Amino acid sequence: MRRITTLIAATATALTISSCSDSTVESETTPVDSEAEVAAETPEPTVMPNAETPATAADNSLLGKWTGPYGGVPAFDKAKLEDLKPALEAGMAKNLEEVDAIANSADAPTFENTILQMERSGQDLNRIFTYWGIWSSNMSTPEFREIQREMAPKLSEFFSKITQNEKLFARVEAVYESDELKGMGPAEQRLVKLTYDGFARNGATLEGEAKKRYAAINQRLAELHTQFSNNVLADEEGYVLYISEEQTRGLPESFKSAAAAAAGEREGEYAITNTRSSMDPFLTYSDERDLREKVWRTYYDRGDNGDDHDNNAIISEILKLRDERIALLGYDNYAQWRLEDRMAKNPENALNLMEAVWPAALARVKEEVADMQAVADAGGADFKIAPWDYRYYAEKVRKAKYDLDSDEVKQYLQLDKLREAMFFVAGELFNFQFSPVPAGSVPVFHGDVKVWEVTDKTSGDHIGLWYLDPFARPGKRSGAWATSYRSHETFDGKKNVLASNNSNFIKGAPGEPVLVSWDDAETFFHEFGHALHSLSSNVAYPSLNGGIRDYTEFQSQLLERWLSTDAVIDNYLVHHETGEPIPDELVAKIKKAATFNEGFATTEYLASALVDMRYHTTDASDIDPDQFERQTLAELNMPEEIVMRHRSPHFGHIFSGEGYSAGYYGYLWADVLTSDAAEAFAEAPGGFYDKEVAAKLVKYLFAARNSMDPADAYRAFRGRDATIDALMRDRGFPVPDKS
């Protein structure tokens, strides 16, 4: 099957997070993410409608090959939701025919007739998954969710038919153990290994009832992951706080404008939606403490309200099934299985890293809370700092300590200018040129989506397309993420990349620039890093465009560093009204305050990562999620002023799929590499635009994708392994004593 190592490895999960494309990544900045943005009013979808007359098999809008310019593009303008189910069924049937032809070949198994034929298979289905991903992530509707609920277990069953095809696995195993393997190139050897592991680690070696049970577990998990995700989405859509003008004290005008737009026809009122980009600034600026508490509780109680959308029972069942499944494979716990093929290798290594940082983070939180309490007391407060006070008083401390106003910084962070800055960085490091594609020449799935052609600046050669879907809207899942509709490959003729970035920024009033926070600007750069990872690929085989989860966040986290380089600051951070560059003194304040509030940021992230790892290294036979979460945090001495970034009932990274399950630590693991690699640029003669270091960056850390072992790739770039020292320096924490 095409992209066997990514699709099979995600058998029970690829259908609930996004489009099953090679680099679909829910992403976050380091150590936080943009997990939920405000759902502002946006135009109605202009494409992908629900037509009244079902399409026949002959004219199914999703089954055709992609046509048009740039090597063919998705026909988003013709896609019809009622065609999705029959298209999936047709795509699965054809893919199984292709797999059976490989498995039943009379010829002795070889790399060409087995591994490469698998790489060629499933192309029709892969195109359909692109449309699935758009409806799932960008354009969800109740009608789609009904299809999703029905098809998720069927798709899981389909994947199991491939992983449990004994004849197919026998041929893969024969190539894996053959003398032919020894004579192959490194990329081919890695492709064979990843293909073999994709089967062996996912039940192919099981027999009889164990094999049947493994497949049944996957089907049930697919149902549960889908239900979990849709429950969170329901709570995000179902809880909106409407406030009056009198209740907006302290809120910036830019936020009030967006909140008024989100309120729609409710004139004179403002909508505080149940999303991070609405919650976060409200808690930062609102002078209304009772409303801050209400917004905080509503947001952090998503999936935990004891109603039809409560996720606690679902979590318990997911954990039990995961434990049962890995026991069939002979592992002691889920995390042991999950980390075996990642950079961390085992849960002990991941825990060692987290536990090395945790004490320093807690110590910093204690300092931060003391500073905030002093400000609160000076203002006549008669309460102790609570979680809904943390952002509010942190902002006051920021102003007092650094004379830095976050809203003042925001006036220089225009979304369009940031996009231009990202294009500049891509041109300097990757030699890429981004040119807007004329509206209407490439189909899009919503009027907000814009497309750029990516070419080589020197040769003019076409590299791919970059789609941007920047704004929040109902039906679009929270967060920021990247995906590829088509990955790079050359083994059967060159195929260029179709890459996509997706955000949830608050859409401004017509004609007004979209202003974002510094954290959101970092997230924008971060996600663009994932797109550059896809666009820079030079690998031959589709399956090598994937990646290892605790490594693939590294490239995107590293790209965040270019936001604060002088070339970007001097040319792209300009005031949205005057056009004047951001003042040097304000830049100095930003850099001086770079590690401000790092205790909060690191602690809320690490709490989630540690709880995730505890869930997946503990006997799951009798876990009550609410009790487990509270007990684990108590054992960790979690400060009472902070809540974990993603509470269990809405922790979509680990319970709406398995991409980050027992793997949320990966952001920190990747950030060790990020901090170390950033110092390589800082030490270079040309700084962050040093041509020699940039060339090694592209060659070993971006273009190679998964054709090299990540540890080998990093050593080729840096000349050594990374250490934790740079990470601790970056966060303003004490560097561990090695004596």
CA 522/CA 421 separation, integer angstroms: 12
Give the integer Cα–Cα distance in Å for 373 and 393.
Answer: 8
| Contact yes or no for 316/323 (Cβ under 8 A) | no
Q: Which of 241, 239, 243, 242 is nearest to 305 (CA)?
A: 239
Return d(Cα 130, Cα 73) in angstroms, integer: 11
Find, among 680, 636, 687, 485, the residue nearest to 76 by Cα. Answer: 485
Q: What are the helix (H) ranges across 329-444? A: 334-339, 347-378, 387-402, 406-410, 415-430
Amino acid at 380: G
Residues 135 and 215: their CA atoms lie apart, in Å, by 26
First CA to last CA distance, the chain? 52
Separation between Cα atoms, residue 628 and residue 632, nearest integer Å? 6
DSSP characters for 345-371?
Answer: -SHHHHHHHHHHHHHHHHHHHHHHHHH
CA angle 269, 273, 276 (to 5 degrees): 140
Query: What is the rounded CA–CA span in Å between residue 27 and residue 524?
Result: 10
Handedness of CA 230, 233, 235, 238 (dihedral sign): negative
Q: Give the Cα separation of 283 and 46 in Å (integer).
A: 35
Residues classed as catalytic: 527
What values do phi and psi take at 685, rounded to 5? -55, -40
